[in-house]
A and B are shown apart, each in its own frame.
Chain A
C-alpha cells in the first residue's frame, strides 16, 4: 500500500514535469508579452532590455528550469500585467473557482448517481425514459450555450438570479466564501449548474448502464432468491458494485470540472482562476499561465491518486492482492 502510494507520487511528479515542459514550449506561440507591456513609444533598446530582464531571450528549457527552481521555493514569479506575485493572485482567485467546482461537482455526483440508479431500477418507466431523453441535451449542448440560455431565462426574463459575479463574500484569512451570504448563494446557482450539467448527465448515464449490468449478475439474483428486500438488493448489494468503475470516470470528470471552469467563468464573469487564465492569455502573461497550468495538473494528478486510493477502500480484492504480495 505504502509502496504503491510512493510509486504513484513519483509518477505524478514526472507527469507534472512533462506537463510543464510542454507548456513552456508552447508559450512562445501565444505571442510576445513585450508588445503588451511597453507602450507605443518603445525603442528597440527598451525591448531588448526588458527581454533580458525577464529572461525571455533565453531558450525555453532554461526559462523552464528557472521557473521550476523558483516554484520549488514557492516563488512563481511576478505577473507581467498586474505586477504582483503570481502566488498571491492565484491564492486570491482560487477560492472562487474551488467553491464553484466543489458545488457543481457535488451536484453532478449526487444528482447523477441518484438519477442513474433511478433510471436503472425503473428501466422501462415513463419518467426514467423521459430523464434519459432529456439527458441527451446535457450531453450534447456546449457549456457556453447552456450558460447563456440559463442567463437569458433566469436573469433576463425572470430576473430571479444574478447573471454575473460572485455576490457578497465573507473572508476567513485568505479564503473568501460566497456560501454564507444569500447573494453569494444565488450567484452560485447558475454557474454551478452550467458547469456541472455535462458531468451530471455523463455520470447518470454511466451509473445507469453499470447498474443495469450489475443487476444482471448472479449475486444479485442470489440476493433476490434469499428473499432480501428490493431496497437492500438495489442499494446495499448493487450500488456499491456499480460504483467501482464509476469512480474512475467521475474522478477524471472532477478534474475537468476545474479545467472547464474557464468557459463558465468567462460566461458568468466569475472571478476565479479560469477567468484569470483567459485574461493572462490575452496579455501573454507567462508567469500566470505557467502557474495556472501547474496548478491544474497538480489537481488532476491529485484527484487521480485519490481515485486509486478509493479503489482500495471499496474493493477488497485489490487490498488482498497487495497484502498477498508483501
Chain B
C-alpha cells in the first residue's frame, strides 16, 4: 500500500506585491521500504514539500492546491490538531543541522523520554528503557551512559544519530529527511546514509530524502524526483534518471557534477534557465602584470609547520592546555601549480592556509615564498609586500564581504591599501575586474546583499585578483554553492590558473572537486599531512590506509550520465 501520495501539490507564499509560488503542481509517491530522493538546487522548493507534508509551513505559506494523502487518507487540509497527531506518530522529520536540531539545555534522554511518553504513554522506567534501545539501534555506543549526556557532548555524527532516534520514537511509517548529511564529513555521511537505508529496509519505512547532492541520490535512493524552481521536471527510478536523463535541466545538472572517476577539462556551462555567464579571462591576461617566475621553480615551500591553540589558560604555564591543530606539516608548491589539501573537518587544512596568509602566527616551522623566509618577516613593510602577492578566497560568500560596503569599494580596498594605483586608474581596474568575472561594471554600485551566492563568490574572486597576486589561496571556495554555480566558479578558477599563470592552494573536503582542480594533492588528518602525491597517482594508487578509506567513502557516481561531458573528458 502506498504510504504517501502527493498529487498536484501547490504551495503559495503571498507577499505584499505578488504571490510567490514555491511549489507548483508537484506529484510524488512513497512506497514502504522505499527511499525517494528529492533533488534540486536551492530555491527549487524541495524543503517546502517536506514542510507542507508535515503541516509545518511557515506563515503566510499555505497549500494552495492539490492533496497529500497518507495510506489513502487525505491529510492536507486537516486542522492544526489533526496534523499534530500525525507528526512524529506516523510521519517524522530529520533536519539538516544536527548541531541545532537538539535542545541544548535538555539531556538526550530527557528529549527522548518526553517524546516516547507523549506518543506511547509508557511509564518513566519503560520510556527510558525504550530510549536506550533506540540509541542502541541507531548505533550509539554505551547508550545507558550516554543517555544522560547533553547534546553538546556528542559529535556531529552522533548527534544526527540522536536526531534519528528521536524521529523513530513512535515507529513512524514515513521519515522525511531534509538534507540529513549536508553538514557532516564524508565518513560520517556514509554511516548516516547506511543507517537510513537499513531502517528503510528493516522496518519498511518510506523515506523522502531531500538533498542537493547528486552523489547521495545516486548511492542511496531507489527513486528520484528532480525539481527546478518549484516544478517537478523529471521523476523515475534513480538508475533511469541519473543514467539517462530526459529533461534538459536534469541533463545540465548532472553534467555539472564533478566526477571522482573522470577528469574534465572544463565543466559544461548550464544551458538551462538562462544561467549562462560571459567570462572574458583572455582580456584580463593582456593587462595582467606577470611576475618573474621564481628562481628555483618552487614558489611556496612549507617546512615542518606547526600551530597550537591555547584551550585553557592558567597562571602556571605547565597547567595550560593546548590543542595541536597543525603538527609539522611539510609540502611545496611549484610555479603555476594547483596544490590541493583534502581532509575532514578539524584536520587543520584551513589553519595551514591561514598561516600561509599570515593571518595566524606559526608555532614552529618555516614558510618560504620565492626564496624569502616569510616566518622571519617582521617589519610591516616586508609583510605587506608579501601579502600583496598572496590573496585569499573564503568559503562563505555571505560573511566574507562587508555588507556595508559597495562592491566597487570592496574590490578597490586592497588596491588602495597597497597603494598600487591612484585616482581614476583604481576605478578602471575595478570596472575591468567586474567585467571579467562576468558581473559587468554596473555591479560596482550595488551592495553585496543584492547578489546571489555564486555572484558574491565572483566578487570575492575579483577582490582577490585586484592586487594582481602570484598566489591564490582558495579555502573551500565552492562548498557553500549549488552544483551548477560550483561548476561556474571552478571554471573561472581553472581559467585564471591557465591564462594568468596563477599558483593556487586549493583546500576542499570534496575529493571529486579536488580531482578536477588540482595537479598535486596533500591529504591531512588530525593536523598531520599523511600523504602528498600527484592527483592522478593518489586516486589510482593511494599509499596510506586513511587515503584509501577517504576514497572508498567517496560516491562513485558511475551510473551518472556522461552526456554533455564527452568533449571535455581529459
Binding site for B on A (CB under 8 A): 217-219, 221-230, 232, 236-237, 240-241, 244, 314-317, 320, 325
Which residue from B84, B97, B152 sits with its C-beta under 8 Å from A227? B84
B105 to chain A: closest residue by CB: A240
User: B92 and A225: CB pair below 8 A?
Assistant: yes
User: B89 and A227: CB pair below 8 A?
Assistant: yes
Which residue from B93, B102, B170, B312 sits with its C-beta under 8 Å from A225? B93
Is B85 part of the binding interface, using a Cβ–Cβ cutoff of 8 Å? yes
Question: How far, in Å, is A231 (CB) from chain B's closest CB?
Answer: 11
What are the residues of chain B within 8 A of A232 when measuring CB–CB?
114, 118
What are the residues of chain A within 8 A of B153 when measuring CB–CB?
320
User: B103 and A226: CB pair below 8 A?
Assistant: no
Which residue from A225, A228, A314, A317 sits with its C-beta under 8 Å from B56? A225
- 17 A-B residue pairs with Cβ-Cβ distance under 8 Å, sorted by A, are A218-B96, A218-B97, A218-B100, A221-B56, A222-B163, A226-B87, A226-B88, A227-B84, A227-B118, A228-B114, A228-B115, A232-B118, A237-B103, A240-B103, A244-B105, A317-B152, A320-B153
User: A229 and B118: CB pair below 8 A?
Assistant: yes
Chain B, range 497-531, C-beta contacts under 8 Å to A: none
Question: How far, in Å, is A322 (CB) from chain B's closest CB?
Answer: 10
What are the residues of chain A within 8 A of B85 when measuring CB–CB?
227
Is B321 part of the binding interface, using a Cβ–Cβ cutoff of 8 Å? yes
A216 to chain B: closest residue by CB: B58
What are the residues of chain B within 8 A of A241 when measuring CB–CB?
103-105
- A223-B119 Cα distance, complex, nearest whole Å: 13
A226 to chain B: closest residue by CB: B88
- A227-B169 Cα distance, complex, nearest whole Å: 11
Question: How far, in Å, is B115 (CB) from chain A's closest CB?
Answer: 5
Q: Given that A232-B114, A316-B152 are contacting pairs, would A224 and B105 also be in contact in the complex, using a CB cutoff of 8 Å?
A: no
Question: How far, in Å, is A120 (CB) from chain B's closest CB?
Answer: 15
Which residue from B88, B104, B150, B321 sits with its C-beta under 8 Å from A228? B88
User: A218 and B101: CB pair below 8 A?
Assistant: yes
What are the residues of chain B within 8 A of A236 when measuring CB–CB?
114
What are the residues of chain B within 8 A of A223 when measuring CB–CB?
103
A319 to chain B: closest residue by CB: B150
Which residue from A217, A320, A325 sits with its C-beta under 8 Å from B100? A217
Query: Which of A222, A224, A228, A325 gathers the greatest number of chain B CB atoms within 10 Å?
Result: A222
Binding site for A on B (CB under 8 A): 54, 56, 84-89, 92-93, 95-97, 100-107, 114-115, 118-119, 150, 152-153, 163, 166-167, 169-170, 312, 321
- A325-B319 Cα distance, complex, nearest whole Å: 10
What are the residues of chain B within 8 A of A237 when measuring CB–CB?
103, 106
- A319-B96 Cα distance, complex, nearest whole Å: 27
User: A315 and B115: CB pair below 8 A?
Assistant: no
What are the residues of chain A within 8 A of B170 when measuring CB–CB?
227
- A219-B150 Cα distance, complex, nearest whole Å: 14
Q: A218-B101, A236-B114 are in contact. List 20 more A-B contacts (CB 8 A).
A: A218-B97, A219-B103, A221-B95, A223-B103, A225-B88, A225-B92, A226-B92, A226-B115, A228-B88, A228-B114, A228-B118, A229-B84, A232-B114, A241-B103, A316-B104, A316-B105, A316-B107, A316-B150, A317-B152, A320-B152
User: A219 and B152: CB pair below 8 A?
Assistant: no
- A229-B81 Cα distance, complex, nearest whole Å: 9
- A325-B93 Cα distance, complex, nearest whole Å: 36
Question: How far, in Å, is B163 (CB) from chain A's closest CB?
Answer: 7
- A219-B105 Cα distance, complex, nearest whole Å: 11
What are the residues of chain B within 8 A of A317 when measuring CB–CB?
104, 150, 152
Question: How far, in Å, is A211 (CB) from chain B's closest CB?
Answer: 14
Question: How far, in Å, is B15 (CB) from chain A's closest CB?
Answer: 16
Question: How far, in Å, is A274 (CB) from chain B's closest CB?
Answer: 38
A326 to chain B: closest residue by CB: B312
Question: How far, in Å, is B236 (CB) from chain A's closest CB?
Answer: 29
User: A227 and B86: CB pair below 8 A?
Assistant: yes
Question: How far, in Å, is A14 (CB) from chain B's closest CB?
Answer: 17
What are the residues of chain A within 8 A of B89 when measuring CB–CB?
227
- A229-B321 Cα distance, complex, nearest whole Å: 45
What are the residues of chain A within 8 A of B104 when measuring CB–CB?
219, 241, 315-317
Query: Which of A218, A229, A236, A241 gathers the greatest number of chain B CB atoms within 10 Å?
Result: A218
- A222-B51 Cα distance, complex, nearest whole Å: 11
What are the residues of chain B within 8 A of A222 when measuring CB–CB?
93, 95, 101-102, 163, 166
Query: Which of A225, A244, A315 gathers the greatest number of chain B CB atoms within 10 Å?
Result: A225
What are the residues of chain A within 8 A of B119 when measuring CB–CB?
227
B89 to chain A: closest residue by CB: A227
Query: Which of B95, B96, B105, B119 gathers the greatest number of chain A CB atoms within 10 Å?
Result: B105
Question: How far, in Å, is B5 (CB) from chain A's closest CB?
Answer: 20
User: A218 and B115: CB pair below 8 A?
Assistant: no
What are the residues of chain B within 8 A of A229 when measuring CB–CB?
84, 118
Q: Given that A228-B118, A316-B150 are contacting pairs, would A219 and B100 also be in contact in the complex, using a CB cutoff of 8 Å?
A: yes
Question: How far, in Å, is A4 (CB) from chain B's closest CB?
Answer: 13
Question: How far, in Å, is A320 (CB) from chain B's closest CB?
Answer: 6
Task: Please list the 10 inter-chain residue pairs (A to B) with the smallest Cβ-Cβ separation, ordered nearest first.
Answer: A227-B88, A227-B87, A226-B88, A225-B93, A218-B100, A316-B150, A222-B101, A218-B101, A219-B103, A325-B312
What are the residues of chain B within 8 A of A228 when measuring CB–CB?
88, 114-115, 118
Question: How far, in Å, is B85 (CB) from chain A's closest CB?
Answer: 7
What are the residues of chain B within 8 A of A217 when measuring CB–CB?
100
User: A320 and B87: CB pair below 8 A?
Assistant: no
A315 to chain B: closest residue by CB: B105
User: A226 and B167: CB pair below 8 A?
Assistant: yes
Q: Given that A317-B152, A320-B150 are contacting pairs, would A226 and B169 also be in contact in the complex, using a CB cutoff of 8 Å?
A: yes
What are the residues of chain B within 8 A of A226 when measuring CB–CB?
87-88, 92, 115, 118, 166-167, 169
Q: Given that A237-B106, A317-B152 are contacting pairs, would A225 and B54 also be in contact in the complex, using a CB cutoff of 8 Å?
A: yes
User: A314 and B105: CB pair below 8 A?
Assistant: yes
Question: How far, in Å, is A239 (CB) from chain B's closest CB?
Answer: 10
- A230-B118 Cα distance, complex, nearest whole Å: 12
What are the residues of chain A within 8 A of B163 when measuring CB–CB?
222
Question: How far, in Å, is B310 (CB) from chain A's closest CB?
Answer: 12
Question: How far, in Å, is A52 (CB) from chain B's closest CB?
Answer: 46
- A240-B114 Cα distance, complex, nearest whole Å: 15
User: B87 and A218: CB pair below 8 A?
Assistant: no
- A232-B115 Cα distance, complex, nearest whole Å: 10
Question: How far, in Å, is A238 (CB) from chain B's closest CB?
Answer: 9
Q: Given that A218-B95, A222-B166, A226-B87 are contacting pairs, would A325 and B321 also be in contact in the complex, using a CB cutoff of 8 Å?
A: yes
Question: How far, in Å, is B507 (CB) from chain A's closest CB?
Answer: 28
What are the residues of chain B within 8 A of A315 when measuring CB–CB?
104-105
What are the residues of chain B within 8 A of A218 when measuring CB–CB?
95-97, 100-101
- A217-B103 Cα distance, complex, nearest whole Å: 9
- A244-B105 Cα distance, complex, nearest whole Å: 10
A225 to chain B: closest residue by CB: B93
- A221-B97 Cα distance, complex, nearest whole Å: 12
Question: How far, in Å, is B170 (CB) from chain A's closest CB?
Answer: 8
What are the residues of chain A within 8 A of B312 when measuring CB–CB?
325
What are the residues of chain A within 8 A of B167 when measuring CB–CB?
225-226
Question: How far, in Å, is B179 (CB) from chain A's closest CB?
Answer: 12
A243 to chain B: closest residue by CB: B105
- A123-B538 Cα distance, complex, nearest whole Å: 57
Question: How far, in Å, is A321 (CB) from chain B's closest CB?
Answer: 9
- A314-B100 Cα distance, complex, nearest whole Å: 18
What are the residues of chain A within 8 A of B97 when measuring CB–CB?
218
Question: How far, in Å, is B320 (CB) from chain A's closest CB?
Answer: 11
User: A224 and B321: CB pair below 8 A?
Assistant: no
